[in-house]
Amino acid sequence: MNQKIIWLSKGKPSTLEHKGKEFRSGICKNQVEKLEVKASNIVDDDVANHEYHGGAERVICVYPYEHYEFWENLYKQTLPKAAFGENLTVSGMKETAVCIGDIYQIGEVVVQVSQGRFPCSTINKYTNINTLLNKIVEHGYTGYFFRVLEEGKISSNSSIKLLKKHPAEISVAAIHDTFFHHKDDLSQVEKILSLSELSEEWHVRMKKLRRQLMKR
C-alpha cells in the first residue's frame, strides 16, 4: 500500500480541561507544513511528562490515518486532527505492517521503529470519550514511535521510503497482542526480547513479564 503523510503536527504542552478539572499535556498539536527533527526531539514540540513520554527512543509519534474512520464510525463523532497527539499521521503504515527495527527515510530524516505506543488515559480526557483507551488496547490501534538515525526536515509533501525491513519482522501489533492479550506465550516473549532495536522501556516490560511466566 502506498505510504503517505496525511498531517504533520507539533505543539508544546498546554493546560486543558476535563470535567471541570485542569490537566497539562502535550497531546494538543497544531498542523504544520514542516518538522525540524533532531536526534532527541522535534523543534518546538514537547511533552508534559518526560518520565513517560519523549526522549531519544520516542522522538516522532506516528498514528495510522486509517484508524480515524474506525473510531469515528464507532463513536459517531469527528475526531480532531492529530487526536492521538501524533507528529505524523500516515496512511499505508498500520501497526500490523510496521515492524520493530524497520528503517525509513521521510524527507531528509532517517528513522527506525523503536516501539509501539503504550496508551494512557489522557486520550479519554482530550476526546471526551471515556471508553477510548480500553478500545485502543482491545484493538491494538496504538500508533508507534520512531527513533532518529539521521536528523533533518520533513515536509508535508515528503515521501516515505522503506530503506530496510528488519529480518525478524515482529510487528508493533504482534508485541501489543502478546503483552495485552497473550501474556502466557513465553516463546513469543523471548523472541520480542531478542530485538535489540526494541526500546528499553518495552524491554523492561517484557523482562518483567518473562520473570512472571518463569515463576509459574
Q: Do 191 and 100 contact (CB within 8 A), yes or no?
A: no
Distance from C-alpha of 105 to C-alpha of 80, rounded to nearest angstrom: 27
Amino acid letter, residue 101: G
Which pLDDT tens digit goes with each residue over 17-70? 767 777 666 787 999 999 999 999 999 987 655 555 567 999 999 999 999 999
- Classified by CATH at the fold level, domain 4-167 comes out as M1 Pyruvate Kinase; Domain 3 (2.40.33)
The residue among 54 and 100 whose pLDDT is bigger is 100
pLDDT of residue 18: 67
pLDDT of residue 23: 67
* Strongest mean pLDDT among 55-59, 104-108, 117-121: 104-108
The residue among 175 and 119 whose pLDDT is bigger is 175
Does residue 202 have a pLDDT over 90? yes
Q: Give me the percent of the chain exceeding a pLDDT of 90.
A: 80
Does residue 82 have a pLDDT over 90? yes
Lowest mean pLDDT among 38-47, 100-109, 174-183: 38-47
Which pLDDT tens digit goes with each residue over 135-172? 999 999 999 999 999 999 999 999 999 999 999 999 99
pLDDT of residue 122: 87
Rounded CA Rg of the chain: 17
- The domain spans of the chain are 4-167
pLDDT of residue 1: 58
Distance from C-alpha of 141 to C-alpha of 119, rounded to nearest angstrom: 9
The residue among 22 and 85 whose pLDDT is bigger is 85
Does residue 125 have a pLDDT over 90? no
The angle subtended at Cα 20 by Cα 143 and Cα 77, nearest 5°, is 45
Tell me how crowded residue 169 is: count the other CB atoms within 10 A of its CB. Answer: 11
